[in-house]
Amino acid sequence: MLRFARATVEQAGQVVVERVSLEVEAGQALALIGRDGSGTTDLLEAAATAVRLHAGDIEVAGISIRRKPEEVRRRIGYVPAEAPEWPGVRAGEFLEVFAAAAGLRGTALVAAVERGLRRAGLSTQGRERLDALSRGRRRLLLIARALLHDPEVLLLDDPFAGLDPTERDGIERLVEDTHLVGRTVLATIIDADVPTCFTHLAWMAEGRIVAMGPLDSAAFSTGRAWIHRVVCPGRGGEAARVLEDAGCVVLAADAHVVDCRHDPADGPFAAIVAALVEAGIPVESADFRPPWPAQLLRD
């Protein structure tokens, strides 16, 4: 559905995306992670036709951005990182402008705007001004705007930045609903805290794709050890000894919490957690800390 073929982008004479090739199929939601300056946003903007390709091509449903950019724009919905500053414009009016620009008229336009307001959780707040909405509501409204013309591909630039947990959950549910109906989703996630609404992950560095696979730590584990945090209230010291005996490297421990490094080549971490429980040590939680995609960026 969305295909990058040796896509190259230059900014101010510098190559920021270098010969990137990857494919995102219909129904997949790909999270694109990378450090600041890695080229993730530049790649997304190229797919949105917001920046020019220097070389290579990008295709949406087999249609080339180079040859038919207008046709590609009709098939994509693009959500930038920030909402436009339109003081005094109301949420419903905002959607009406873009619905009309997408060619919708009459009852089709009204239905699209109502559907967009529902998606943004603003069914009864269509007269709310943009500048009065929370950051999360504005982000939901931007996504609703991008979906007005029922695009095949949704492009999201850092959709979770600065959101509280409730707002983040709203975006996650909308992304999941979007790809479950067969759309292709590509999103940059700057902090690499990738939620499970995504199906795949691609890691960029210095303008190139380093690795790509399903959103599963096992797909990125070769030659890599992960840091885990194990919470065992009141039994941290005992837990640390069990973890060391199991081959983990204990990085820090107190009476309740143990941070350790585990190499998946030594076996599943779940088996080590099971050993703690079998030893009579209660385990409140055992998670990657920080999330494993963020650990990739530390390499």
Mean pLDDT of 250-262: 97
The yes-or-no verdict on residue 84 having pLDDT over 80 is no
Which one is predicted more confidently, 256 or 133? 256
The Cα 13–Cα 160 span in angstroms is 31
Give the residue-averaged pLDDT of 80-97: 83
Instruction: Tell whether the model's pLDDT for residue 7 goes beyond 90.
Output: yes
Band the pLDDT of 95: cuts 50, 70, 90. Answer: very high
Q: Output the DSSP codes for 222-281.
A: TT--EEEEEE-TT-HHHHHHHHHHTT-EEEEE-SSEEEEEE-GGG--HHHHHHHHHHTT-
Q: Which domains does the chain have, with CATH numbers?
A: 2-215 (3.40.50.300), 220-296 (3.30.70)
Is the pLDDT reported for residue 126 higher than 80?
A: no
Residue 97: closest CA among 74, 113, 117, 78: 113
Query: Average pLDDT over the chain, rounded to whole?
Result: 92
Query: How many other C-beta atoms lie within 10 A of the C-beta of residue 163?
Result: 18
Q: Please state, as a whole number, how many other Cβ atoms lie within 10 Å of the Cβ of residue 54.
A: 15
Provide the angle, in degrees to the nearest 10, between the axes of the packed helices 165-180 and 135-146: 10
Count the neighbouring beta carbons within 10 Å of the beta carbon of residue 243.
26
Q: What is the 3-state secondary structure (H, E, C) of 150-176?
A: CCCEEEEECCCCCCCHHHHHHHHHHHH
Contacting residues for 146 by C-beta, under 8 A, at least 6 apart: 77, 78, 79, 154, 155
- What is the band of 287 on the pLDDT scale with cuts at 50, 70, 90? very high
